[in-house]
Amino acid sequence: MRRQPGATAPSSAVTGTPRTRREACRLAFAAVTSIVVAACGSGKSNSASPAAPSGSTGAGSAATGSTAAGAAAKAADADGSGGTLIVGMTATNFPGLDTVRGSSEGGEGTRFVTFQLYDGLTKWDLTHEDIAPKIIPGLAESWEVSADQLVWTFHLRSGVTFHDGTPWNADAAIYNFDRLINKASPLYNAELAGLAAFSTSGLKSAEKVDDMTITVHTNGPWGFLDEDLVGVPMGSPTAIAAAGGDMSDHPIGTGPFKFESVTRGQQLVFVKNENYFLGPPKLDKLILRPLPEVTSRMAALRAGEVNWIEVPSPDEAPALKSEGFQVKTNSYPHNWPWQLNMKKAPFDKLEVRQAVNYAINRDALAADLLQGTAEPAYAYLGPGDPAWTPDLSYYTYDPDKAKQLLTEAGFPDGFTATVSISTSGSGQMLPVPMNELLQRDLAKVGIKIELQPIEWASMLTDFFATKFPGDANAMNVSLGMSQAAVWGLTFSTKGSFNVSGLSDPQVDALVEDIQKTFTVEGRNDIYRKLNARLLEVAPWMVIVHDLNPRSMAANVHGIVMARSWSVDLTQVWVGK
């Protein structure tokens, strides 16, 4: 099966048993939580998906005055290129800068750091707003899969160099794979292997065929390897060796932007790569600033200190538009749930898990509190997912049904339960007020919820270890659901991040079918069956699907809100 640049072909990948490498995968899941790796482009279809709510763009000009963003804007060329983009991130700090370390701050770190400095063998096409992103060639021009589906041959892109001038070739590719999967190599780095395991756990070995060809051997059929390899960024062997194995202080990749400087906790500066193999980005410079508090992001945007922010305050979106700012959203595969602790009472009982799903008013949460920046989640799949169909909806707001189920479960007067929540975090939106609203809904059916806020990184540490913080009855961790691997990791009996403790033979069989299916259409059919079964066994309380809101100054152009957690910044520019 030969893959040519720009062509669509069945995803073909191979797997072993990633579920058995819990400790390695634990670190890798930072990419998933955002999504998964992280990240979070849509990995389940190369075909059009249902229309999504379109974000609106404010008219007029944002008043920037003599501020940093305003001054940067004046440097933009009049021909539709140039300028400096200054992004206010939700992160408290920057992620690690050496290749896969970007996922240490979740999907936001991967989106704004990893994918700007580095490339993988494959890429997501993030140039469309109305269809799910497709896999396209990256540092590999084409690839084919052997008849037994166990060997992938990648034909590498010629004429590419790293930012330091090191040539991209098969030796560079194998050098990077050795760091992540070859335990016999002196280059092997266990920490990096852990961070990469989400994308590499199906790989057995990688070998050089000739200067521009490599083969990747796998442990068994894995129908979405081309998706996974987006999350394996390639770094310069020269720079890695010169840095003693960790180039975090001066990262060197092949990506559209080059590292210039970093001041931890303050700003990270990239400049355009004039020699980028897909053409130089339109921006002259990209500056990232960590602004975890929404009020700080809003103030910085209005003051002109930044010209792009992630997750603006939902109730201020109309005001932002009236002031001339752009506010954009789009559907994509993402869940903001409660993971229910099925290992102990009361959520060990199916009726109780179903009851809480009927007891919450998702419509009010999405419309009133979040002001349309999220969609109510009636199922695990949402409208932003290419496998979604309207008939998949299951749970509605029905307090009487919830009370009936509680009575059947032996809790006619309700019960008290603890829920671990974060105060912020990548993909968490507004976790405190959202959870307080859910707390009030559940109180109406007799369930008293005690919210236990903890720091986001601490919560993720426990989540990765499949532990509930403080032995809570539930926890609230948002997840990107784009890549096929996420479903097995979180729901199969052996899943490394199956924190709820679900063990269901039907779910396990469907997850295995997904792994062995090499066409996106075939996998979408299985996702629908898996979604239906998950709704029946209810390991989560499904709540809302995030719409990835962000706001920009009026002079920021070229933005495409792909149906993905990630974004293509190469076509963005800042006008005068």
Distance CA 2, CA 78 (A): 42
User: Beta partners for 328?
Assistant: 550
Average pLDDT score over residue span 15-40? 37
- List, in sequence order, the alpha helices (H) in 398-469: 399-408, 431-443, 456-464
pLDDT of residue 423: 85
127 and 114 assigned to the same domain: yes
151-163: pLDDT as tens digits: 999 999 999 999 9
Residue 401: give the domain boundaries.
335-546
Residue 295 in domain: no
Residue 322 in domain: no
**What is the model's pTM?**
0.82
- Tell me how many domains the chain contains: 2
280 or 462, which is more confident?
Answer: 280
Burial call 166-193: b when 16+ CB within 10 Å, e when fewer: bebbbebbbbbbbbbbbeeeebebeebb
Distance CA 453, CA 436 (A): 11
Distance CA 484, CA 527 (A): 9
Q: Residue 418 maps to which CATH number? A: 3.10.105.10
Distance CA 64, CA 119 (A): 34
Element (H, E) at 123: strand 122-124
Residue 78 in domain: yes
Residue 310 in domain: no
Which of 440, 430, 326, 439 is closest to 371 using CA atoms? Answer: 430
165 and 275 assigned to the same domain: yes
505-544: pLDDT as tens digits: 999 999 999 989 999 999 999 999 999 999 999 999 999 9
359 and 440 assigned to the same domain: yes
The residue with tokens 């063990």 is 503
Distance CA 98, CA 436 (A): 38
Average pLDDT score over residue span 271-279? 98
447-477: pLDDT as tens digits: 999 999 998 778 888 897 899 999 999 999 9
378 and 407 assigned to the same domain: yes
Residue 301 in domain: no
* 91: its two tokens: 């992160």
pLDDT of residue 383: 87
270 and 414 assigned to the same domain: no
The DSSP secondary-structure symbol of 468 reads -
Q: Which pLDDT band holds residue 70 (cuts at 50, 70, 90)?
A: low
140 and 198 assigned to the same domain: yes
Residue 410 in domain: yes
pLDDT of residue 470: 96
Whether the predicted pLDDT of 298 surpasses 90: yes
Q: Residue 36 maps to which CATH number? A: 3.40.190.10
349 or 461, which is more confident?
Answer: 349
Please state, as a whole number, how many other Cβ atoms lie within 10 Å of the Cβ of residue 448.
12
- Residue 5: asked if its preceding bond is cis (omega within 30°), the reply is no
28-37: pLDDT as tens digits: 444 333 333 3
Instruction: Mention every residue, 6+ apart, whose C-beta is less than 8 A from residue 536.
Output: none
462 in helix, strand or coil? helix
Whether the predicted pLDDT of 253 surpasses 60: yes
Write a three-state SS string for 488-505: HHHHCCCCCCCCCCCCCH
The residue with tokens 């109780």 is 352
